[in-house]
Structure 1
Amino acid sequence: MLPDWRRTFNDILLRPWFDRAAVPMLARWYFPLSRAWAAGLQVGRDRVAFAEALGRSAVPAGLADAALAGLAARAETHAAAAARWDDAFFGETPAADLPGTEAARLDTAHDLMAARSLFARLHMVHPVPAVRFAVAPPDEVLARHGARLGTPASAFALPEDSGPWEVSAAFDHRGRRTFWLRLPAPHPAQPDDRLWARVVEPLDRPCVGTVVFTHGIAMEDEHWRGRATPLGALTAQGFRLVLPEGPGHGRRRCPGLYGGEQVLGGGPMGLLDYLHGHVVDLGLLTAWARGLDPLVPVAVGGVSLGALTAQMVATAAHQWPAENRPDALLLVTPSRSLEAVVFDGALTRALGLPKVLADAGWTAEAIAPWRPLLEPVGPPAVDPARVVMVLGSADRVTPYLEGLALATAWTVPAANIFTGPRGHFTTAMSLSLNHDPRPLRRLVEVMGEGRGA
């Protein structure tokens, strides 16, 4: 139970006013600063190359040079800490102070992520675009993904041999054990791409369930200090959490792009690539968790883009072996219609995405044939009674009515649908802050009903 003062504060914060402020802040500040940050990481201290990466003939020398120098210094510090972390957790002889090594990695990662602020003055006098758009035309998308569209039964086929998982050394802290998994990505977003996941499990009781939960676009909790562990309240109830990094995010970030930019800027190709890779990732992580104890149920879930991914897992799993199929789902701000998200969503409209897509030949009619690879088609391979949804009635990013339409199409029981007077971001925040414990309580109940069919 939250203290009274925290509950009062959250009652004020977790309202649609926050979402109405968040969308323009993201579009006008966070994403433009991220664009400058990603370009700076790519070019180092080279101001001329930095301007070219931003599509500019020149940038103010004084502002750019200072920001690039500060960013480069933080990047070097983080690279050294990350290398020490890798040796400590995945080396032959784990370090004695694993918690301290992780704290050092996280501190330098946070400082590097926060270096976006170094470009604020530059953005004020020389505005930076929010997204580097590189939208592939329909014929290129057809060349890459057309075969999958023609064989929907194998559109999200799992690899026959994904190879062995690497499991890091673990450390114990405050009743939890934390370690990491990694595996060569079956569908790499870049050369040497790896699937990464942080695992957090209870120390003082047997594990009664596993939840594989994936993040939304541009969410990189592994690299920000002070972020609440998503669903962290579940570990106290005996649940293991598996928290993957999606393609193009965090350790998997593509050079020259910020986390999630390949989805925002890539148009249909970007999202098709993302879902193809991450849906398979979640299937493999489900099997990993299942291998620890076949009798312990496994749920898959996500928030926003993570929910869109998890709902695709739910339908793709019809074609998967039993060990890869989840027993339950937790969908936070999902949407039945990607078209509604792209053309009517508040964030995509604020970024100008509908016009960019139209200029590249992507109308709603052109996107429609790709729906089987972008939206759930047909019923889930999970009993609808074990699907829990969390919706915000004021959600304009993944529109609320489309989330409700998915619940109706899947015949999700009313007892499993939790709707609050919130928008997109505050709905997700209410779950992370455990402001409304009912959805997680219901997830625990449905997972306690045993393995799915």
Structure 2
Amino acid sequence: MPEDSGSPKARMDRPRIGVGAVVWRDDRLLLIQRGKAPQAGQWSIPGGSQELGETLFEAALRETLEEAGVEAEAVGILTAVDSIHRDADGGVEWHYTIIDVECEWRSGEPVAGDDAAAARWATLEEADALIEWPELRRVLHLSARQRHQRQRRQGQVRLKPRPDLMRLMRTPLGRLVARPWFDGMSLALLRGWFLPASRSLAAAIAAEGDLHRFCAELEIAPEVLGKRPLWLGRTLRDISRLTEQHRQADAEWQRLLFSTTAPLADVVAAEEARLDAASALTTSRLRFALFGNNRKIPACRWAIPTVAEVDDRHGARLADSENAYRLPDLLPVIEETRRLPSELGTDHWVTFPSPEPAVASACWARVFTPADVVNPPTVVHLHGVCMEPDHLRGPLTEIESLVRRGLRVVLVEAPWHGRRKRHGSYAGEPMVASTPLGALDHLSAAVREVAILTRWARQTSTGAVGWSGISFGALTAQLAATHSGSWPAACRPDALLLFTTSEGIEDIAFGGSFARAFGLDRALAAAGWDEAALSRWRPLTDPVGRPEMDTGNVFMVLGSKDDVTPFAGGQAIARRWGVPEAQVHVRPQGHFSVPAGLMVDGAPIADFAERLLAL
């Protein structure tokens, strides 16, 4: 819907009719960038003047083909708006009555033509950021709502599928990625870009568009930025806008997800809007790809505690380590949201207060339930540090693989990750930045949260329950398994699947390459911590005992080149527990190439799923 549909040479004496084409392809809209005055360079939708003898639908489809090279089909009249431009004296220079036609893509890829400078597909969130005219943004949101309602009437309302990498990873290119060179590159990107950019984004969100607050958050002086304040000011304003959009989308999501009367189409649309807004905000760290490295931004805002501070909070637990992870006498009530149809079945969320006050956030978990399966087995899955799978439109390969095999998966948001992030920090930063206190707080919450979710799983299905975890999620799962002896039987697992796991908090903190990428080893040493001081806390961080379950139901995937969670530690656990050799999958890969390799060869996941289905 162009703000005007031409460039009149003289003042109009009556309104003229224009047409705009709102063209959808799945969840994306067709946009064009104006190549000529007026409004040259601004983003809009295909449109122009209706020609004599031409219907509105014909005009919309013609303009779409001429300006963007895309063929579409008209669905119906969306709305009509007025575009009126007045001169300095208040007189009307031009007046267009623009009728917007909703269309669905049929063929062709966007190629700028006619008077367009560029053409592209864009999500609704991207269109909001590109389009300057508020009226057009309103019309596009109206179209999105009406489209969801129409799909609901047609029985097509469901969540969009995640990107699928399996097909690519099973090509020679995928097998090339799943090799140790990928680990070296990943660590270099982590240290040189991801962590400084994440710290910068967290500071930008906390700054709320203010340059001086941003510098204060990063502990840098504004004058050292040189010529960057112009670029940085614009970036901070953009991130402030994305933050507010995410806040509003999340509030609307929570309102509708817990509603029992809201139309299903509205609830699905709210989830899609929430994930779009979260993904846009999370990926905006790309704006700081070079800034963090050039400015030597630290990986964390360090707050390493003293030995006395750790003793004050966790000393009593250490003195009675066998009961350090005892559950509350009264377990919290779990709230559940509406169930939304998906490609694999249904998705919904559960939430409850965390038993560890130090994390200061409720536990949230997304539940993926397979279609047409009665009483499915359940897998409670724990992710690693800095991972936010429910805040990105990324692939969920291992999750979807389990659901396709008939298992329900509970994907838990770890403390200080996702919607549990602490203001001013990025995902997982508080745990690393205040090690060992942060790690102990994190484990105190996560270990008991998995127990509470396990009981919920048994209350809602008669199927077996397994735990799976990757990296720090695996460390959490194995620790929970060894401390579950005092828990009710309903809170214990029947099987474990551990990816890239290890033991030895001091080895990981001082010797692991992930910790070195953060600079954790240096930060700990500067605060007076050494390996001996850390090893004292092993009873609360490491699986020093045996799990309270049949270790014949334990499956492990280890990388012989893993120096993040060192391979030797994972081997030691397998031997001490007596895990069957056939269920310890050792691959010539590192910490990051092991997960990539599972997309090439998912045999361990299949073996684990078969065992749960058989229990």
User: Normalised by the shorter chain, which TM-score bucket?
Assistant: over 0.9
Of the structure 1 ranges 259-268 and 63-72, higher mean CA displacement relative to structure 2 is found in 63-72
Following TM superposition, by how much is the alpha carbon of 1:173 offset from its aligned partner in structure 2, in angstroms? 1.8
Following TM superposition, by how much is the alpha carbon of 1:41 offset from its aligned partner in structure 2, in angstroms? 1.0
1:227 to 388, 395, 410: 395
Contact 2:352 2:363 in 1 (8 A): yes
* Aligned residue in 2 for 1:394: 561
Contact 1:67 1:119 in 2 (8 A): no
* Aligned residue in 1 for 2:202: 38
Percent identical pairs in the alignment equals: 38
CA distance in 2, matches of 1:41, 1:251: 14
2:215 is equivalent to residue 51 of structure 1: yes
* Aligned residue in 2 for 1:309: 476
Q: Relative contact order (C-alpha < 8 Å, sep 6+): which is higher?
A: 1
- The one-letter code matched in structure 2 to 1:441 is A
Q: Deviations over 1:199-225 (max 9, x none)?
A: 001112224311001100000010111
TM-score (structure 1 length as normaliser): 0.95
Contact 1:385 1:446 in 2 (8 A): no
2:335 is equivalent to residue 172 of structure 1: no
5 Å matches for 1:231-380?
Answer: 231-293=399-461, 295-380=462-547
2:171 is equivalent to residue 7 of structure 1: yes
2:364 partner SS: strand
CA distance in 1, matches of 2:447, 2:401: 25
Q: In proportion to residue count, which structure has more strand?
A: 2
TM-score (structure 2 length as normaliser): 0.70
Unaligned 5+ runs, structure 2: 1-164
CA distance in 2, matches of 1:335, 1:391: 9
* Aligned residue in 1 for 2:368: 200
* Aligned residue in 1 for 2:254: 86
2:422 partner SS: coil
CA distance in 1, matches of 2:482, 2:299: 33
Gap change, CA 1:175 and 1:354, over 3 Å in 2? closer
CA distance in 2, matches of 1:347, 1:34: 15
Q: Deviations over 1:155-182 (max 9, x none)?
A: 0111122332110001112231100000
Of the structure 1 ranges 60-69 and 46-55, higher mean CA displacement relative to structure 2 is found in 60-69
* Aligned residue in 1 for 2:593: 426
* Aligned residue in 1 for 2:352: 183
- The one-letter code matched in structure 2 to 1:394 is K
2:611 is equivalent to residue 443 of structure 1: no
CA distance in 1, matches of 2:603, 2:383: 20
2:535 partner SS: helix
Q: Deviations over 1:49-83 (max 9, x none)?
A: 21111111225322331221111011111111111
Following TM superposition, by how much is the alpha carbon of 1:44 offset from its aligned partner in structure 2, in angstroms? 0.7
CA distance in 1, matches of 2:317, 2:169: 52
CA distance in 2, matches of 1:124, 1:219: 21
CA distance in 2, matches of 1:72, 1:161: 41
Consecutive aligned runs of 4 or more in structure 1 exceeding 4 Å deviation: 1-5
- The one-letter code matched in structure 1 to 2:584 is I
CA distance in 1, matches of 2:331, 2:614: 31
Contact 2:398 2:605 in 1 (8 A): no
1:242 partner SS: strand
CA distance in 1, matches of 2:414, 2:183: 24
Contact 1:64 1:119 in 2 (8 A): no
Contact 1:336 1:402 in 2 (8 A): yes
- The one-letter code matched in structure 2 to 1:123 is G
CA distance in 1, matches of 2:471, 2:239: 30
2:291 is equivalent to residue 122 of structure 1: yes
- The one-letter code matched in structure 1 to 2:394 is G
2:304 to 135, 148, 172: 135
Following TM superposition, by how much is the alpha carbon of 1:28 offset from its aligned partner in structure 2, in angstroms? 1.2
Q: Deviations over 1:373-405 (max 9, x none)?
A: 010111111211000001111111111111111
Count the aligned residue pairs.
Answer: 446
CA distance in 1, matches of 2:375, 2:594: 28
- The RMSD of aligned alpha carbons is 1.7
* Aligned residue in 2 for 1:385: 552
Following TM superposition, by how much is the alpha carbon of 1:45 offset from its aligned partner in structure 2, in angstroms? 1.2
Following TM superposition, by how much is the alpha carbon of 1:347 offset from its aligned partner in structure 2, in angstroms? 1.5
2:435 partner SS: helix
Of the structure 1 ranges 342-351 and 304-313, higher mean CA displacement relative to structure 2 is found in 342-351
CA distance in 2, matches of 1:281, 1:121: 38
CA distance in 1, matches of 2:342, 2:233: 42
Contact 1:333 1:392 in 2 (8 A): yes
Q: Deviations over 1:319-350 (max 9, x none)?
A: 11101011111100010222221111111112
CA distance in 2, matches of 1:368, 1:17: 32
* Aligned residue in 1 for 2:576: 409
Contact 2:369 2:408 in 1 (8 A): yes
Contact 2:503 2:542 in 1 (8 A): yes
Following TM superposition, by how much is the alpha carbon of 1:449 offset from its aligned partner in structure 2, in angstroms? 4.3
Contact 1:298 1:328 in 2 (8 A): yes
Q: Deviations over 1:269-292 (max 9, x none)?
A: 010010000000101001100111
CA distance in 2, matches of 1:222, 1:2: 19
1:139 partner SS: helix
Contact 2:175 2:597 in 1 (8 A): no
CA distance in 2, matches of 1:446, 1:110: 35
2:244 to 76, 88, 91: 76
Gap change, CA 1:84 and 1:19, over 3 Å in 2? same
